[in-house]
Amino acid sequence: MAVTLEQAKNYLKVDEDITDDDELISSLISAASDYVEKTTGKRADGSPLCELCVKQLVAHWYENRAVYSSKPGAINVLPHTVTALLTHIAQCEAYPEADKT
């Protein structure tokens, strides 16, 4: 099961009735899924851990949309949890391989 807009909004704590950012969040879900697959070689919808990684990437990119941030490294450095999940997913044989198209 791929991460849905509803799941992402719930993870981001964005009220479902507020639709202003739906297009942005949907594009972030797509980009995060692609990022997980390209980085790990595994399907982004292959497990709860893969989906958690997608949600965390969406949250990171959603919360750090600005070109500049006062937090050092906030924009161009992924959170440690995301990098740890990506490494685990890439190295573990239990996750289904991504389609090579």
pLDDT at 1 over 70: no
| Overall average pLDDT of the 59-63 stretch | 93
Confidence grade of residue 90 (pLDDT, cut at 50, 70, 90): very high
Q: Is the pTM of this model over 0.75?
A: yes
Task: Please indicate whether residue 26 or residue 74 has the higher confidence score (pLDDT).
Answer: 26
Going by pLDDT thresholds of 50, 70 and 90, the confidence category of residue 97 is confident
CA–CA distance from 65 to each of 16, 36, 49, 59 (Å)?
Answer: 20, 19, 24, 10
Spans of all domains in the chain: 5-91
